Structure 1
Amino acid sequence: MLPTELIEQQQNQNKGDDDDDDDSLEGFDDDESFRGIDDDDLSVGETYSVNQTTIKSNTQFNNNNNNNNNNNNRSNPLSLPIQPNSSSSSSSPNSNSSKLIVVLMQSCLENHVQTVNSNSNRGRKTKELKYTLLNCDDHQNILAKMGKDIAATRPDITHQCLLTLLDSPINRAGRLQVYIQTTRGVLIDIHPSVRIPRTFKRFSGLMVQLLHQLSIKSITGKEKLLRVIKNPITDHLPVNSYKITLSSDSKPVKLSHYIPDLLSSDVQRDLVIFVGAMAHGPDDFADHMIDEKISISNYNLSASVACGKFCYAVEDHWNIV
């Protein structure tokens, strides 16, 4: 089950000149505590400066109630900026047009909690719950104790896919929708306008917050850019959609011919692609939902490359430049 403890944000007061903090990329400490996202830097675009955030039991989230007179009020710490050139799915002029829907299946996004001792401000020893996103590089001992496949714990694959998909012209045109389904069955809706952190350590901290809080809002707080939604995925797919998945066992097709033939029908329909965001394993994760299983290359491709090939082929067919 997802943890129920709330986040207590440690305030970073008396902050120095912003020029000294720009482009400072802090990662995880050796104690594997994750870090939150500083909204003062989120608002400027792609520079993500982070300050330490610790999850504690029996604590409540600090909303800066004691700083109401501060002229520089901070926004929700669980927030992300919106891509300025990206069209919202609800306000896009192409909202009634066909869309490409990509579902990243078997994504390895899993939180791990540890109880650690820490010293409080009063000199007392307290216990804290610290969360981190499991990965094969930093948590080999933990994964071995849990009996998990170390080589398969690859959340970086999901990160690479999201960067490829959300940076694509088809997403900027408002005709791409992305979902993630984790190995533990958690279904995540990715808003087309979200800007995913470029570095993996920041992405890991963001996923920890998402899996803990179940949603992350935009800086304005008007819309949820990342949110956990109810299963099954089929409840969120259009009725008229054509669903395909990839398999190296299938006969390779050339997407420049396959996509026009598939979408040339007079009947408007959406195209759903199920992509395995995993290091290795069987490709039967969507066999009960799909209409067709294809291969798009004579060679084994990474999930990110497969996503890019599909985006390019559909962009070319829909004349998205």
Structure 2
Amino acid sequence: MVTGTSSENCDSRAVQKFCCAPTDEEALYSALNPPQNDLDDDEEPIRHNVAAHAAWFDGEDRFAAPAKLVVILERAALERSRELVGTHAKAPRPDHELQFTFDALETLLDSQLNEAGRLIIYLHSAEEVIVEVHPGFCMPSSLQRFAKIMLSLLRRRRFTGSTPEAPAVLRVVDGPWDQLIPKGTAWYALSPQGESIHLKEFVRDVAGSTGFGCLPPSRSSERVPGRGSGRDSGDEDVGHIVFSIGASAGDATKDATFRGNSLQRLSICPWDLTGAACCRMLCSEFESLWNVHRC
């Protein structure tokens, strides 16, 4: 006779289910305290730094002075998160498409520029979903965890962590980019096939002088104000700069869909760099230019 307490006989699925079934007390507790979301064991999603208190979402102007660097991680493989979640999930590989996005986003969030509130981050997925990233979002420790968060985000259009009532730290926003980026903002795309530049000199040219130097304007200068950009003409000269950076394998910005309103593609290195490396170099130059230091 099989009993529920005999571990040596817990070989069949039926017996295992019986042995591992919750007690009445546990079942009652689960019913009264259901998980808040499918990430009920999630760690605190907000990092405790200056950026966590930055302006955020509706009613607050994220593009108010001082000037900010805006980075759009293009062709982010958010939809491929499904491959790493569930009973048939694949073991994560270093070259998985989502790993490129994970590394680039982690680099941006950990930067001194972000902690100082001088960085704005968007994800632009392979299926053209635009995600706004809170500057205080705390990256998970593993790629699988990140994949779960991305799936929850795509399904619910927002992610708050373990507390649904808390402000979202990730949010899907509706385009087009004209309604998200202020009118007159200079916009460039990084590509190994772009025009070769010296990054330090370029940054000081476009961000350190009025009118962004002698470089050609982006299409953003011809746009009409939209959400977050309906401001006085004087506010358009704050000096924000947008960079589209590939967050997947290959040259993401080669496709016009993934370089936004930029008219010019730039190459900062004679050989291919990962998105994370590009983000690190870009943040470093702007930190130096704007004299940003970690407290």
Q: Establish whether TM, by shorter chain, passes 0.5.
A: yes
Higher helix share: 2
Q: TM-score, normalised by structure 1?
A: 0.62
Give the alignment partner of residue 196 of structure 2, picking from 239, 243, 252.
252
Greater RCO structure (CA 8 Å; 6+ sep): 2
CA apart distance, 1:93: 11
CA apart distance, 1:222: 3.4
Between the aligned partners of 1:280 and 1:238, the Cα distance in structure 2 is 29
CA apart distance, 1:218: 5.2
Give the alignment partner of residue 229 of structure 1, picking from 150, 173, 180.
173
Instruction: Tell me if the contact between 1:133 and 1:208 (Cα under 8 Å) persists in the aligned partners.
Output: no
Question: Which sections of structure 1, spanning at least 5 residues, go unmatched?
Answer: 1-62, 68-72, 115-129, 141-150
The structure with more radius of gyration: 2
Between the aligned partners of 2:45 and 2:281, the Cα distance in structure 1 is 27
Deviations 1:227-270 (A, max 9, x none): 11112233211213110001222332122111111112344211
Correspondence 1:89 to 2:59: no
CA apart distance, 1:64: 6.8
Which amino acid in 2 is paired with 1:300?
Answer: D
Between the aligned partners of 2:92 and 2:197, the Cα distance in structure 1 is 39
SS in structure 1 opposite 2:286? helix
Correspondence 1:171 to 2:114: yes
1:284 equivalent in structure 2:
255
Which amino acid in 1 is paired with 2:49?
Answer: N
Between the aligned partners of 2:86 and 2:135, the Cα distance in structure 1 is 26
TM-aligned CA distance change 1:281 to 1:311, over 3 Å: closer
Q: How many pairs are equivalent?
A: 227
Which amino acid in 2 is paired with 1:83?
Answer: R
TM-aligned CA distance change 1:181 to 1:94, over 3 Å: closer
2:105 equivalent in structure 1:
162
Higher mean C-alpha displacement, 302-311 vs 204-213: 204-213
SS in structure 2 opposite 1:202? helix
Give the alignment partner of residue 278 of structure 2, picking from 302, 306, 309.
306
Instruction: Tell me if the contact between 1:111 and 1:131 (Cα under 8 Å) persists in the aligned partners.
Output: no
Identity of aligned residues (%): 25
Higher mean C-alpha displacement, 77-86 vs 90-99: 90-99
Higher strand share: 1
CA apart distance, 1:75: 6.4
CA RMSD of aligned residues (A): 3.3
Question: Which sections of structure 2, spanning at least 5 residues, go unmatched?
Answer: 1-28, 211-236
Between the aligned partners of 2:274 and 2:80, the Cα distance in structure 1 is 24
